[in-house]
């Protein structure tokens, strides 16, 4: 199991968190996604390391951006 933590900008509510959680959750191998709206922290538990570009695409599909 691999755990990856990223920071997503622009989330303001539970609906935002659900959108991000849903998009990242569709990535093959992802088992769990926890989102903290107040800090923007997103923790991803997966079977294997997930390509950062794939995570970025999922976040952008949800309508948000990764923090620099």
Q: What is the pLDDT of residue 57?
A: 97
Q: What is the pLDDT of residues 3-58, one digit of tens each?
A: 999 999 999 999 999 999 999 999 999 999 999 999 999 999 999 999 999 999 99
Tally Cβ neighbours within 10 Å of residue 39.
10
CATH architecture entry for 2-66: 2-Layer Sandwich (3.30)
Q: What is the pLDDT of residue 68?
A: 77
Any idea where the domains of the chain sit in the sequence? 2-66
- What does 33-62 look like in DSSP terms, one character per residue? EEEETTTTEEEEEESSPPPHHHHHHHHHHT
């Amino acid at each position: 199991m691999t755990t990856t933590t990223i920071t997503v900008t622009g989330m303001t509510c539970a609906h935002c968190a659900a959108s991000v959680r849903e998009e990242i959750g569709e990535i093959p191998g992802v088992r769990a996604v926890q989102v903290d709206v107040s800090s923007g922290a997103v923790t991803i538990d997966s079977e294997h390391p997930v390509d950062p570009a794939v995570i970025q695409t999922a976040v952008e599909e949800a309508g948000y951006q990764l923090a620099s």
